[in-house]
């Protein structure tokens, strides 16, 4: 407790410009600032430390009395709202128990379809990236080709394409945009040119878990490709990040009617839980919370980027609620030392050595992180 108070005081004394601009913005929305820091500070799983919208909380508690009913109405309402948000038809949306389930379903459905047609199928992924597609593909026994990122951490598109061209059969590409762990986007010009000229037996899963947090104007959602009727594209999205609902497991897949029907063939029935559905509905109807969530992440990003610059530690411009940055020294030792200081940072993502993925928590949490990082520098640890 003492330590917690100490950090709060120390953090208050060291408010950065980014933080005070943020406070003013929050006050202008009439919402309250994120409160103090509890330990340990968890900056390792790309969660949204702000927590969910107050309206989402209320929707969950209001739903307790109807928890004995199946949530068909709420699921339908949520699908309707998502369809409206993206200007798609309701049969272009497949709900998932988190977007993890959507990724699993589309990978499995593509494999089953290829096997029925006696066509070999493989998965091709950049490396490193979020590894669920790879894990599901491996479990289903197909080969996975991993193509290392370029020196600047962008996708090596030529090598990715070549991996598919050299293969006699279908290829599933899993492309995370922005990528996890780098928080780097692949510009729309590059990505769309590739997909628009790719043959139909190359299928693209575009994981846009962090799309709402992108700052770079060169990013465009793959939803445009779906609107252009591409039957070899699926986009996955989630309520876990911007809306802070990771524990309620609401994700979705968007595609043409044909792609959604395919994904649904491997999706468990009635997979949307009531609490998650009502929280997601309330979140979509709370633009002020969206604004607060974005402002919080942006302020935290500025605090960390400023400190990394001061310390001369390289980082990738972040387009998500995490930042990939250099650590001088062994990353596992750094992780352990941070843990001893009650801060759980992310991990190293091989084959990239000497870099760490750090989740952007609340600005208050990041002030504590920065103080600790600077203390590590004084000790010669980073
Ligand atoms: C790139 C990416 N995709 C998907 C997910 C899974 O999210 P969900 O909570 O929707 O299953 C994550 C979670 O961290 C992620 O980083």
CB within 8 Å of 118: residues ≥ 6 apart: none
Is the pLDDT at 34 greater than 90? The verdict is no
CA dist., res. 322 & res. 360, Å (int) = 5
Structure tokens at 73: 């109405």
Structure tokens at 68: 């004995």
Are 280 and 55 contacting, i.e. CB atoms less than 8 angstroms apart? no
Is the pLDDT at 15 greater than 50? The verdict is no
Report how far Cα 48 is from the mean position of its chain's Cα atoms: 10
Ligand 1 pocket residue status of 186, Cβ below 6 Å: no
CA dist., res. 144 & res. 157, Å (int) = 16
Say which residue the tokens 């593909």 belong to.
137
Entry pTM? 0.92
Q: How many residues does the chain have?
A: 382
Q: What pLDDT is attached to residue 2? A: 37
Which residues are registered as beta bridge partners of 172?
Answer: 123, 203
∠60-106-277 over CA atoms, to 5°? 10
pLDDT digits (tens, 9 = 90+) for 351-365: 999 999 999 999 999
Query: Pairing state of beta strands 355-359 and 322-326?
Result: antiparallel
Are 357 and 349 contacting, i.e. CB atoms less than 8 angstroms apart? yes
Q: Residue 343 in 3-state DSSP? A: strand
Q: Which is the closest atom of ligand 1 to the Cα of 176?
A: 1
Ligand 1 pocket residue status of 251, Cβ below 6 Å: yes
Give the residue whose CA is nearest to atom 6 of ligand 1. 100
CA of 86 to the centre of ligand 1 (A): 20
CA of 14 to the centre of ligand 1 (A): 33
Report how far Cα 74 is from the mean position of its chain's Cα atoms: 24
DSSP code per residue over 322-341: EEEEE-SS-HHHHHHHHHHT
Say which residue the tokens 């037996």 belong to.
201
Q: Residue 70 in 3-state DSSP? A: coil
pLDDT band at 25 (very low <50, low <70, confident <90, very high): low
Q: Residue 141 in 3-state DSSP? A: coil
CA of 377 to the centre of ligand 1 (A): 32
Burial class (CB in 10 A: 0-12, 13-18, 19+), 248: buried
CA of 248 to the centre of ligand 1 (A): 13
CA of 206 to the centre of ligand 1 (A): 12
pLDDT digits (tens, 9 = 90+) for 304-351: 999 999 999 999 999 999 999 999 989 999 999 999 999 999 999 999
Q: What pLDDT is attached to residue 4? A: 42
Is the pLDDT at 3 greater than 80? The verdict is no
Query: Pairing state of beta strands 250-254 and 233-238?
Result: antiparallel
CA dist., res. 30 & res. 301, Å (int) = 22
Q: Stretch 26-39: mean pLDDT, rounded?
A: 67
Structure tokens at 361: 């928590």
* Residue from 329, 321, 382 nearest 42 by CA: 321
Q: Residue 184 in 3-state DSSP? A: coil
pLDDT band at 243 (very low <50, low <70, confident <90, very high): very high
Are 274 and 68 contacting, i.e. CB atoms less than 8 angstroms apart? no
pLDDT band at 36 (very low <50, low <70, confident <90, very high): confident
């Amino acid at each position: 407790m003492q330590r917690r108070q100490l950090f709060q005081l120390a953090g208050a004394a060291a408010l950065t410009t980014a933080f005070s601009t943020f406070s003013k913005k929050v006050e202008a929305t009439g919402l309250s600032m994120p409160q103090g820091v509890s330990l340990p500070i968890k900056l390792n799983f790309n969660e949204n430390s702000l927590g969910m919208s107050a309206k989402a909380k209320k929707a969950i508690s209001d739903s307790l009395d109807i928890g004995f009913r199946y949530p068909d109405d709420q699921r339908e309402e949520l699908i309707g709202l998502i369809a409206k948000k993206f200007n798609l038809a309701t049969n272009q949306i497949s709900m998932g128990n988190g977007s993890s389930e959507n990724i699993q379903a589309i990978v499995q459905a593509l494999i089953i379809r290829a096997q029925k047609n006696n066509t070999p199928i493989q998965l091709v992924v950049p490396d490193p990236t979020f590894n669920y597609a790879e894990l599901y593909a491996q479990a289903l026994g197909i080969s996975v080709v991993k193509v290392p990122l370029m020196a600047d951490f962008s996708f090596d598109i030529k090598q990715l394409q070549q991996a598919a061209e050299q293969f006699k059969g279908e290829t599933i590409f899993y492309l995370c945009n922005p990528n996890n762990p780098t928080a780097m986007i692949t510009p729309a010009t590059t990505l769309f040119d590739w997909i628009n000229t790719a043959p139909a037996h190359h299928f693209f899963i575009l994981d846009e878990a962090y799309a709402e947090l992108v700052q770079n104007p060169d990013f465009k959602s793959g939803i445009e490709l779906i609107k252009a009727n591409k039957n070899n594209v699926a986009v996955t999205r989630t309520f876990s990040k911007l809306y802070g609902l990771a524990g309620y497991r609401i994700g979705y897949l968007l595609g043409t009617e044909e792609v959604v029907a395919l994904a649904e063939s491997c999706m468990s029935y009635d997979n949307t839980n009531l609490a998650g559905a009502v929280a997601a509905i309330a979140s979509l109807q709370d633009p002020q919370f969206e604004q607060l969530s974005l402002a919080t992440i942006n302020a935290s990003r500025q605090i960390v980027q400023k400190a990394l610059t001061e310390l001369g530690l390289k980082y990738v411009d972040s387009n998500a609620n995490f930042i990939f940055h250099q650590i001088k020294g062994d990353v596992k030792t750094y992780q352990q030392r941070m843990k001893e200081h009650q801060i759980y940072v992310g991990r190293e993502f091989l084959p990239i050595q000497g870099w760490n993925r750090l989740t952007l928590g609340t600005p208050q949490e990041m002030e504590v992180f920065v103080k600790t990082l600077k203390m590590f520098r004084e000790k010669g640890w980073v």
